[in-house]
Amino acid sequence: MVKMAIATAQKELIIQNPYFIADGEMVELLGRAVRRGVEVKVMVPGSITDSPFVSHAGHRHFAAILDRGVRLFLHERTLIHQKIMIIDGIWSHVGSTNLDDRSFDINEEAGVGIIDEDVARRLKDAFEEDLKSCTELKAKEWKQKYTLGHRVVDLACYLISGQL
């Protein structure tokens, strides 16, 4: 459902998820959305996280995501734990689903899809408020600070991400 929803976004896609580990398919889905003219914003934890391994695994495809025009925000004030997605200000998904292969393929997750503009607006307002505590990650900056050592750690964490 999550991937299908991303594939159908027309104007705006907002994702807030503390355990975002994009695989190649997710990178392509997000990139296709941007090419369709969809503004894609993704918020993930910055330095404050309860799982550094998951954060490192998530970093694995940040460069590819940024290169495709996705706007990526690192929340720096507290640990975010919201798992929401809002599409076109109409449809929202709220639940326990992390955006990683384990949640899609193994875990028993619960979520609800809501078609309601008021709910979508309220979730977007909360997202916008959280943006005040974020740093937007830019492709050029990421590539400059994405050292070989960081890439090695990220790859190792990504390879075991199915167990995280």
- Collect all residues with Cβ–Cβ distance below 8 Å to 87 and sequence separation of at least 6: 5, 6, 8, 9, 12, 13, 14
The CA distance from 99 to 110, in Å, is 13
Q: Which domain holds residue 147?
A: 2-163
Domains of the chain: total: 1
Q: Do residues 72 and 62 touch, judged by C-beta distance below 8 A?
A: yes
Instruction: Read off the tokens for 41.
Output: 């914003």
Domain CATH number, residue 73: 3.30.870.10
Coil, helix or strand at residue 93: strand
Whole-prediction pTM value?
0.83
pLDDT in tens, the chain (164 residues): 778 889 999 999 999 998 888 888 889 999 999 999 999 999 998 877 766 677 767 788 889 999 999 999 999 988 787 889 999 999 999 986 676 555 445 556 667 889 999 999 999 999 999 999 999 999 888 877 777 676 676 667 667 655 55
pLDDT tens digits, 119-150? 999 999 999 999 999 999 998 888 777 776 76
